[in-house]
Amino acid sequence: MNWPIILWLLIITLVENANSEESSWNCRFDESGIPLDFQKLYRDDDYIINHESQNETFRIQICGPLHKNCNGIPGYSACLQFGNKTEKGLGRVAEHTHEDGRIMYKYTGDKCKDDVNYQLHIIMMCDYGAIDSYPELFPYEQSYCSFFIIWRTALACPRYPGQSLPSISCKVTDDNGTVYDLSDLKELANNYEVAIDKNRSIILNICHPIVYGYRSVCLDNSGACLRINSDKLSYKSLGSINSMKLHAKPLVLEYEMGDVCTKIPHFRTTITFVCDYNATNTAPVFIGIEDVCHYKLNWRTAAACNEKDLENYSSKTAAPCKITNPVTKIDYDLNSLKGKEPIVKTKAGLEYKFSICQPLLSNACQASVGAKDAGVCSASQRTIGGKANSKLLWSVHGLYLNYTDGSPCGGNKNRSTQITFVCAASEVAENMNTIDDDDLCNLYINYHTSLVCEKKVRDFFPF
């Protein structure tokens, strides 16, 4: 055999493959019993992703061709434009792969270097929170020929026919009325993985079905499942989300009714939680297996501490107009809102001006007695809703300020006001304020700001 012939054969095979792929996009499929449909992602306008550091732009579609030609040629599904406006086709119909839960589209395009063609990989990842999401480009270096895009979308999550995602409470109250809430541990785009040995690991989510994806091919609304990678890869349900139970003392989460097992009828999993204020971003720990079928884990975390204690703990560590979420340890600083003095209207039509973390700079209430430190004031009535303070408070419902000792009210009470900070997508929404109620000498104000939005750090990458 000589090289030219081998090369020639190779080229023919590649061309034939390319031709056979040309037939159609694989966008609706049912593999491992999981029906998925990406057809909805094919849109009227092409997706445009800029890679600013290289001054390059990607135009892509999946499940169909681009609407605008690439380099003047129709039929491409992905196109790369350089800073000088030159365009290269990155591929037409992409090849679809689905291995161990990783769903990928691979595009092969024009020539990049001597014997290398452009390649674009789009990895589809289930994220129950990603409804109208946009694909994200993975950063690359100058003159690369191969690119990666991650597309987090709820469309990559399995929906069982006729079954919507169960909504599960993650709260439990003990006999004394103490509330525990594990919601912070719930994952919409990730799972927890706990290794048992080289070949086996437990895949786990809290108060939510396991998120389908790479290394997590768990079915039937499992809350926990076992990944076994010995001679061949297999998965077993260790308990279903439908049978989840949460107990308060001790704090234990149980998933029952997993796959059929020998000793007891079905696999089950219990996770025992231990409150530790200092334990953030911790992982569950495998303890052992009881009676062949009962998997046991422990989890030391601040999320397992009771709500009142967490509030108390966070207020002790707070600084003026600053506070740390005691569960996630994310710091918040609202000092930049000082000096903004928005006006809100009650249902009865009464207007109140309020300030954040400091007294109002000027207000009609100053005319009244002892009103220098008013934080909320109604100009028309000269009513003080409460005295300002900079003691920012944390509760599971959000950050808030509690202004007390306002104007006398209802005989022997004084007015007070709670200003709750609500996450808003952009700064534009910052001055949207709403008042819910002004009964019972109490005023509730919601202040919308992006300063209180929590972004979970994603530490998971599907390679």
Ligand X SMILES: *[C@@H]1O[C@H](CO)[C@@H](O)[C@H](O)[C@H]1NC(C)=O
Complex with ligand X: residue 5 or 369, whichever CB lies closer: 369
Complex with ligand X: residue 107 or 180, whichever CB lies closer: 180
> 318 Cβ partners below 8 Å, 6+ apart?
324, 391, 392, 393, 394
CB of 119 to ligand X, least distance (A): 17
How far is Cα 431 from Cα 392, in angstroms, rounded to an integer? 19
How far is Cα 159 from Cα 34, in angstroms, rounded to an integer? 8
Complex with ligand X: residue 20 or 84, whichever CB lies closer: 84
Residues in the chain: 463
What three-state secondary structure class fits 96? strand
Beta strands in 141-197 (DSSP E): 146-153, 171-173, 179-181, 192-195
CB of 422 to ligand X, least distance (A): 15
CB of 299 to ligand X, least distance (A): 16
Complex with ligand X: residue 373 or 430, whichever CB lies closer: 373
> 155 Cβ partners below 8 Å, 6+ apart?
36, 37, 38, 40, 41, 124
Answer yes or no: are the C-beta atoms of 299 and 282 closer than 8 Å: yes
Complex with ligand X: residue 149 or 371, whichever CB lies closer: 371
Closest to 171 measured CA to CA, from 161, 162, 163, 183: 183
CB of 62 to ligand X, least distance (A): 25
Complex with ligand X: residue 355 or 418, whichever CB lies closer: 418
How far is Cα 30 from Cα 51, in angstroms, rounded to an integer? 34
CB of 206 to ligand X, least distance (A): 22
How far is Cα 156 from Cα 294, in angstroms, rounded to an integer? 31
CB of 286 to ligand X, least distance (A): 14
CB of 324 to ligand X, least distance (A): 12
* CA angle (422 as vertex; 332, 186 as ends), nearest 5: 80
Complex with ligand X: residue 188 or 252, whichever CB lies closer: 252
CB of 427 to ligand X, least distance (A): 27
CB crowding 179-191: b at 16 or more within 10 Å, else e: ebbbebbebbbbb
Complex with ligand X: residue 63 or 80, whichever CB lies closer: 80
Residues lying near ligand X in the complex (CB under 6 A) are found at 55, 82-84, 86, 174-176, 197-199, 230-231, 249, 278, 308, 312, 370, 402, 404-405, 408, 412-414, 418
CB of 304 to ligand X, least distance (A): 14
Complex with ligand X: residue 40 or 249, whichever CB lies closer: 249
Name the token pair of 149: 């895009």
CB of 405 to ligand X, least distance (A): 5
Name the token pair of 151: 């597309």
How many other β-carbons are positioned within 10 Å of the β-carbon of residue 167?
Answer: 7
The residue type of 192 is Y
Complex with ligand X: residue 213 or 386, whichever CB lies closer: 386
Phi, then psi, of 155 in degrees rounded to 5: -70, -15
279 burial type by CB count under 10 A (0-12 exposed, 13-18 middle, 19+ buried): middle
